[in-house]
Chains A and B, each alone.
Chain A
Amino acid sequence: MRARSVSIFYDLLIAPFIEFEFMRRALVGACALALAGSPLGVFLLLRRMSLTGDAMAHAILPGAAVGYLIAGLSLPAMTIGGLAAGLSVALLSGLVARFTALREDASLAGFYLMSLALGVTILSLRGSSVDLLHVLFGNVLALDEDTLLFLAGVSTFTLLALAVGYRALAMETLDPGFLSSVSKAGGPAQVLFLSLVVLNLVAGFHALGTLLAVGIMILPAASARLWSPDITRMTLIAAVIGLVSSAAGLLLSYHFNLPPGPLIVLTAGGWHVVSMIFGLSGGYLRRLPPRRHLEA
C-alpha cells in the first residue's frame, strides 16, 4: 500500500522531470524567471506599477518582431530587438511625462499601444500565425541550451543588481521627495529598475511569451502581499509561490496535455485566489469583523 502511494507520488510529480529532458529544461527556465521576477514584482506592486509591467511587455513586441524579421527565430536578434524596444518605450514615456503635460501613465499607454500595433504589423510581413503564437505565448518546452543560459544569466544579474540598488529603490518608492533632497540616487535607481523589468520581460518572452511573461512577475507578488506586510518576507513568499507555480504548471500541462505557459500563470493565479480569501495580511477572511477587541 505504502509502496503504491509512493509510486503514484513519483509518477505524478517526479517522473515527468526524470524521464524527459525538455521538462527539466522547462523547469529550470521557469524557476530562473520566477526567482528574479518575484522581487521585481514586489517592487512593481509597491510602486503601484502592476499594470506598467503589462504595458512594458507589449512594448517589447516590435523590437522582437524586427529581430525575427531579420534573423528568424534567433535568440540574440529577438533579445536585442526586444531590449531596444522596451528600453526606448520606458525612456520615451519617462521623458514625455517629464517635459509635457501628460502624466506617466498616459504617456506610457500611448507608446505601448503604438508599439504593440507596430509589432503585430511587422510580424505579419513575414511568417505564419505559428510564429506569432510563439512570440505572443512563448514555448517553454522548446528551450535550447543558449536560451536556458540566457535565462539563468538574466536571473543572476537581476538578483545581484537588485541587491546593490535595493535601498535606493526602496527610498525612491517610499519617499521620492526626500531621496532627491539628499542624493542623486533617485534617477539611476529608477532607470536600473525599469531596465531590469524590461530585461526580465525579454527573457520571459522566450519561455512564456510577451503576454504571459509579466504574469510570473505580478501574480506571485500580489499574492505575497496578502500574506505579509514585510517587504523581505513578501519577496521570499513571492519567490516560493513563483517556483511552486512553475513546477505545478508544468506538471499539469504534462498530465493534461495543455500548453505549459498559460498553465504556469494559471497556477500562480490559483494561488492568488487562495491568498485573496485566506491571506493572513489583508485577505478577505481577515477583514471580517473580529469577535473581541483588545484593551489598548
Chain B
Amino acid sequence: MSAALRIHDLTLAYDRHPVVHHLSGEIEQGALLAVCGPNGGGKSTLLKGIVGALQPIGGKVERLACDARAIAYLPQAADVDRSFPIDVFDMVAMGHWRSIGWFGGLSKTQRARVFDAIASVGLTGFEDRPIGTLSGGQMQRVLFARLLLQDAPIILLDEPFNAIDQRTVSELLELVARWRSEKRTVIVVLHDLDLVRRVFPQTLLLAREKIAWGPTSEVLRPENLLSARRMVEAFDREAHECERAA
C-alpha cells in the first residue's frame, strides 16, 4: 500500500506555542485512522494542518494522494450560517463545486448524484427544506451528503458525532465504512474510545506530542492513556525556544 499522506517533523503552533509538536508519520491510502487525545492536544489543529488551513511553523505535510483542495474536510463547528436562505438540495449540490466552479450548471448525472447522496444519508424528501429548519443531526447528515459528492481521496472529519443520536451515528458510520471499501483515506477526530475500539483499526493518540500511533488495541492501552492525560494544557509563558533537532 502506498502512502496518502506523509507527515515530516510537523510542528503547528498558535503564536509560537506549539500545539502539535514534532509529529512524524505516514498514513496509508485506504487507512481508517482515529485521532484521539485530551482537549487542547492538537487533534483539530492537526487536521487543519493536513488540509492546509494552518501553515506549519516547522516540518511539512506531504499530500501524495491529492492536492490540498481536493481533500474533503468537515470541521468541528462548521461555520455554516444556518439562517442563509438555501435549501437542502442546493446545499448538498455545492459538493460538486470543484467540477462546476463559479457558474457551471449541474448535468443530469450530477443532479442524480445529489439525490443519491441525500438518499444515502436518509434525508430523501428534505430536498426543498431550507437548512434553517433542520435539527442538528439532520444538518450533520446534510454536511455528510455534501462530503459524499466531493468524491475526495482523503476525508477528514473533526468530531463528527458530537451531540448526535445513536441511530444517526450508526448510519453515518455506514458511510465511513463505504468510504473505506472504496479505498479512500479517512481520518476522524473522536472522543468516544469505545467507538474507536469498535470501528477504527488504526489510532493516533496525540497530546501535543505523539503518545502512540499504530493498531488501535496497542495504542489505547492504559499506560498510553495515562501519559496522554498528563499533558499540561496551559502554555508556558516562560517557555524557551525549542531546540530539538529537526
Contacts and interface: CB of A to CB of B under 8 A. Distances in A.
Interface stretch (A131-139, A197-205, A227-235, A251-259): A227-235
Contacts of A167: 102-103
Contacts of A179: 97
B102 A165 contact: yes
Contacts, number: 61
A182 interface: yes
A116 B143 CA distance: 44
A168 B79 CA distance: 16
* Size band of the interface chain A makes with B: 20 to 34
A295 interface: no
Is the contact region of chain A dominated by helix, strand, or loop, or is it mixed?
helix
Contacts of A173: 81, 84
Name the residue among A171, A177, A181 with the largest chain B CB count within 10 angstroms: A181
A231 B85 contact: yes
B75 A177 contact: yes
Interface string A195-237: 0000000000000000000000000000000000111001000
A287 B176 CA distance: 42
B84 A174 contact: yes
Nearest to A169: B102
Contacts of A191: none
Nearest to A175: B80
A185 interface: yes
Given A175-B78, A176-B79, A183-B97, A234 B85 contact: yes
Interface in B142-186: 146, 150
B69 A183 contact: yes
Interface of A: 46, 163-168, 170-171, 173-185, 229-231, 234
10 contacts: A46-B85, A170-B84, A171-B94, A173-B84, A175-B81, A178-B94, A181-B71, A182-B98, A183-B101, A230-B85
